[in-house]
């Protein structure tokens, strides 16, 4: 088993030695930093090549949300932590229910703070975790694994597919080597890490960029953005309260005091406050307009939302 795993890892692009960093241990601090930075610059280009697949994944996620389903991430180690981070940032940013975007990491909550790498080799637990989260055909399940072969992630996606869920897989190894049965594979090929096998680096960066694109674009398609501003954010701290007032001011042209006044009347809902001001309507009417426009501010104020 050990020899087979070693041979399997040896075939992965992300486990190869990077020829440009062979003498990294001889470099000065500045030279090391410039080397890492030069490799990091390759990541956005690798992600760009995957946009057609990312687009398909977004459409699946939007369809799940519109039908009352969810997006669930399953990952291990760095990949799992990135999924949890992306999921945890959706409620304050887009005002979503925490149950709508869910991040699941092999090893559970403790694995967020202390490495439990053995958890990634437990496919039986992955299946239990999928079942425990009540995955159904309404949901989209996204596996995240730089290597593509992580047993926990493969098992989670396989189980989700058995339950009828749509499935996505994000890996930073070549598409030509991808052999898992999913609806959409996203494979930004970032090449060998500058530090051999340290997939928290380029691979992690690529995964983070893709996750940003998936949820941000899906939320925009659901009407949670007006122009280029967040209008469904939750006022969970003073910074977000002030950001909300500033968004209202920029969207409508009112001054600070008026923005604060209407935000209070709107019970802290930025989107409603904007519609109240721009359409000169009550909170009740603003909410009716927003609902009729499927959440889009432009539609609620009489503009074409598309």
Task: Among 221, 245, 261, identify where a domain stops.
Answer: 221
Averaged pLDDT score across all residues of the chain? 93
The answer on 17 and 84 residing in a single domain is yes
Instruction: Find which of 104-108, 133-137, 145-149 is predicted with most confidence, using mean pLDDT.
Output: 133-137
| Catalytic residue selected from 89, 177, 261, 285 | 89
Residue 124 tokens read as 């039986």
Element (H, E) at 249: helix 238-252
Q: Is 50 a catalytic residue?
A: no
Element (H, E) at 39: helix 29-40
What confidence score (pLDDT) does residue 287 get?
A: 96
| Catalytic residue selected from 15, 50, 120, 189 | 120
The answer on 254 and 217 residing in a single domain is no
Could you tell me how far CA 90 lies from the centroid of its own chain?
A: 9
**pLDDT(255) > 80:** yes
Q: Is 227 a catalytic residue?
A: no
The answer on 292 and 187 residing in a single domain is no
What confidence score (pLDDT) does residue 117 get?
A: 63
**pLDDT(29) > 90:** yes
The answer on 193 and 115 residing in a single domain is yes
Number of domains, the chain? 2
Which are the contacts of 114, defined by CB distance < 8 A and separation ≥ 6?
none
Give the DSSP letter string of 78-142.
Answer: HHHHHHHHHHHHHHHHH---TTTEEEEETT-GGGGTS--GGGGG-HHHHHHHHHHTT--TT-EEE
- Boundaries of domain holding 264: 225-300
């Amino acid at each position: 088993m050990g020899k087979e795993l070693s041979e399997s890892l040896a075939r992965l692009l992300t486990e190869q030695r990077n020829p440009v960093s062979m003498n990294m241990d001889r470099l000065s601090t500045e030279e090391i930093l410039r080397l890492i930075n030069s490799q990091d610059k390759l990541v956005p280009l690798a992600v760009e090549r995957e946009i057609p697949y990312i687009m398909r994944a977004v459409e699946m996620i939007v369809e799940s949300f519109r039908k009352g389903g969810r997006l669930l991430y399953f990952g291990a180690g760095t990949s799992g932590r990135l999924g949890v981070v992306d999921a945890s940032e959706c409620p304050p940013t887009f005002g979503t229910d925490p149950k709508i975007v869910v991040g699941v990491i092999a090893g559970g909550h403790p694995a967020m703070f202390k490495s439990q790498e053995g958890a990634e080799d437990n496919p039986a637990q992955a299946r239990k975790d999928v079942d425990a989260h009540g995955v159904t055909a309404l949901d989209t399940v996204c596996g995240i694994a730089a290597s593509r072969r992580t047993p926990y992630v493969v098992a989670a996606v396989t189980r989700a597919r058995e339950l009828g869920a749509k499935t996505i897989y994000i890996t930073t190894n070549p598409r030509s080597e991808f052999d898992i049965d999913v609806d959409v594979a996203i494979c930004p090929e970032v090449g060998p890490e500058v530090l051999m096998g340290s997939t928290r680096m380029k691979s992690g960066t690529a995964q983070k960029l893709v996750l940003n694109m998936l949820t941000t674009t899906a939320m925009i398609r659901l009407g949670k953005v007006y122009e280029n501003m967040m209008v469904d954010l939750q006022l969970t701290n003073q910074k977000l309260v002030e950001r909300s007032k500033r968004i209202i001011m920029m969207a409508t042209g009112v001054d600070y005091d008026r923005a604060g006044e209407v935000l209070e009347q709107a019970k802290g809902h930025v989107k409603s406050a904007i519609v109240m001001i721009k359409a000169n309507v009550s909170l009740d009417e603003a909410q009716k307009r927003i609902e009729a426009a499927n959440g889009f501010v432009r539609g609620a104020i009489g503009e074409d939302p598309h």
